[in-house]
Amino acid sequence: MATAVGGVVAAGAGGATAQVPATSITLSGTIRDFNDTHPDFERPEATDKGIVGPSLGADKKPVYAPAGTSATTSGATAFNQWYRNVNGVNRSSPLDLAAQLVPGSSPAKYRFESPEFFPIDGQLFGNQDRPHNFHFTYELNGRFTYTGGEVFEFRGDDDVWVFINNRLAIDLGGIHPTQAASVVLDDVAQSLGMQVGQTYDFDLFFAERRTSQSSFQFDTTVTLVPTAPSGRPPLQSEDVGGSVPAASLGQPAGAVCAPVPSRRSSKRGEIRLTKAALVIQQRIDAAALRRLNAANAWIDSGITPADLCGNGTGATAFQSGVAWGNGPAGADAGPPSPRPLNVVKKKKPPANFTLSLTQIAINDRISRALLARANATAARLSALTGGNLAAGVTIPGRPRQQDPVAGAALPPSSEPSATPLRIRPPASAGKLTFSAAQLKKTQQRSQKAIVIANRVNDRIGAGLTEQQFLPGSIGAARIG
């Protein structure tokens, strides 16, 4: 695949060069997950333009400035948490988006389209017993050189604000069904302070604040380039000691890893209130539990360099104060060779079932506990520290200890302890009924758990990256 550098790649022979549009452009961003108890989430639907001011603040974040009462927000304090890492309020992770060239478009148009935009299912705070992880914000940053004639179009829900040259160009604020807006740069160039041939910042802020749907699509002839390296934005001061960043369990952009297969829940078939359905339920639960236990045992045994993607980690994984040096980089990183997961299948005869409310209650309690364990395991894999590395392990193929620091003493190499498995108690089951509807709810919960378990196992099998480690959590003594 061609890499976008200014949106074009050179092609030709005999010294002739043609400007050929790149097949895709990749933009870097940060996603932040919230609990549904946050005061600005799960509010009534309403279009709510004017939530933010006409310009970004000094920290490149939207400024809360409604002219009057906002129908869908609760004030500046809560809003200022949307796009900043706040310990105990949100959890963040880098997220890249690749927009694909629209075939036959002239000028070249790039499109990213996701009618079901749920990029952190089963991650960070988890799905909160829902089919998807709603309640998140996304910040996308890029730069472009204004050449004249560019257009940017967005379609989605809920809030969307686009700032060009730090000035508001699109306002789709509020909790609402899918809405669309576009901006023709030539029409607004004067008001946005732009001149042809100059380079400007492009910042998009998105929020998914209410359950039922999430869509995200943009079409652009603006030749955007990322403002941060693909894979992980630079570590900022708000990340240190702040939120608990967690990485996607899918394939990180630019990783030297084996591909991670995409997992989707199977279509829900017809469910009958029968003994056979109870047997299937137990088998699903048993399979998910075996895979989750294997994943946690794998982490507990200590992570080795062979388990890591490219046998190394990036700069943000090291302790605060250890800079990324320019010393010898070592041999080229090779593909990972993770230790196998030991998923032990116990050979036991199927249990005797009684078709009763008691049995349904037992299955329901098991499915709730299993989903809680699945979410906790995914969160654990997304928040590893140096303490999860095997004793004595160093990271090969990276700058040596004397390289990262120019004349300054290395900081202490103490590290956080290994990431524990924190399982939140499942919510109260409430009233149970002897019905197919009750069995369906229980089975769907188990299906979510096994999908998460599969994703965890897939991520381990493809090799871990620095995105699985908390920034600043690997001590200086680990640098080989």
The better pLDDT of the pair 163, 68 is held by 163
- pLDDT higher than threshold 60 for residue 460: yes
Predicted pLDDT at 256: 54
Predicted pLDDT at 429: 74
Across the strands, what pairs with 27? 97
282-296: pLDDT as tens digits? 889 999 999 999 999
Predicted pLDDT at 439: 87
415-426: pLDDT as tens digits? 788 989 988 777
Tell me what the pLDDT averaged over the chain comes to: 79
* pTM, to two decimals: 0.52
The better pLDDT of the pair 335, 449 is held by 449
- pLDDT higher than threshold 50 for residue 403: no
Predicted pLDDT at 121: 86
Q: Say if residues 300 and 248 touch (Cβ distance below 8 Å).
A: no
Dist. CA 218–CA 153, nearest whole Å? 5
The least confident of 302-306, 312-316, 354-358 is: 312-316
Which amino acid is residue 356, in one-letter code? Answer: S
Predicted pLDDT at 373: 93
Per-residue DSSP letter, 92? E
Predicted pLDDT at 407: 40
* Confidence band of 8 (pLDDT split at 50, 70, 90): very low
* Confidence band of 399 (pLDDT split at 50, 70, 90): very low
Q: Say if residues 479 and 321 touch (Cβ distance below 8 Å).
A: no
Predicted pLDDT at 243: 32
* Confidence band of 88 (pLDDT split at 50, 70, 90): confident
Per-residue DSSP letter, 416? P
Predicted pLDDT at 258: 66
Predicted pLDDT at 329: 45
Residues 6+ positions from 204 with CB-CB distance below 8 Å: 29, 139, 140, 141, 154, 160, 161, 162, 163, 218
Q: Which residues of 303-339 are buried (b: 16+ CB within 10 A; e: fewer)?
A: bebebbbbbbbbbbbbbeebeebeeeeeeebeebebe
Q: Hey, what are 171's tokens?
A: 């306002």
Predicted pLDDT at 406: 38
- pLDDT higher than threshold 50 for residue 15: no
Nearest CA among 115, 163, 117, 164 for reference residue 137: 117
Predicted pLDDT at 336: 77
Residue whose pair of structure tokens reads 């499109």 in the numeric block: 111
Share of the chain above pLDDT 90, in %: 37
- pLDDT higher than threshold 50 for residue 435: yes
95-109: pLDDT as tens digits? 888 889 999 898 999
Q: Which 3 state secondary structure label does DSSP give 116?
A: coil
Predicted pLDDT at 360: 87
Over range 320-347, report the average pLDDT: 65
First to last CA, the chain: 33
The least confident of 41-45, 126-130, 236-240, 301-305 is: 236-240
* Confidence band of 348 (pLDDT split at 50, 70, 90): low
230-258: pLDDT as tens digits? 333 332 322 222 233 333 465 544 455 66
Which amino acid is residue 117, in one-letter code? Answer: F
Over range 408-433, report the average pLDDT: 74
Nearest CA among 30, 31, 34, 32 for reference residue 89: 34
Residue whose pair of structure tokens reads 């196992």 in the numeric block: 457
The least confident of 50-54, 346-350, 391-395, 413-417 is: 346-350
Q: What is the DSSP string of 284-352?
A: HHHHHHHHHHHHHHHHHT-B-GGGBGGG---GGGBPTT-----S---SPP----PPPP-------PPPP
**Which contiguous run of DSSP H or E holds residue 10?**
strand 8-11
Beta-strand ranges (E) seen in 82-231 are 90-101, 110-114, 136-145, 151-157, 160-164, 167-171, 174-175, 179-184, 199-208, 215-220, 225-226
Q: What is the DSSP string of 240-270?
A: TTSS-----SS--TT--SPPPPP--PPPP--
Predicted pLDDT at 4: 39
Measured at the CA of 37, the angle between CA 36 and CA 38, to 5 degrees, comes to: 90
- pLDDT higher than threshold 70 for residue 320: no
Over range 427-453, report the average pLDDT: 85
Rounded to 5 degrees, φ, ψ at 235 are: -65, 130
Q: What is the DSSP string of 426-446?
A: PPP-----SSHHHHHHHHHHH
Predicted pLDDT at 316: 61
Q: What is the DSSP string of 170-211?
A: EE--EE-S-EEEEEEHHHHTTTTT--TT-EEEEEEEEEE-ST
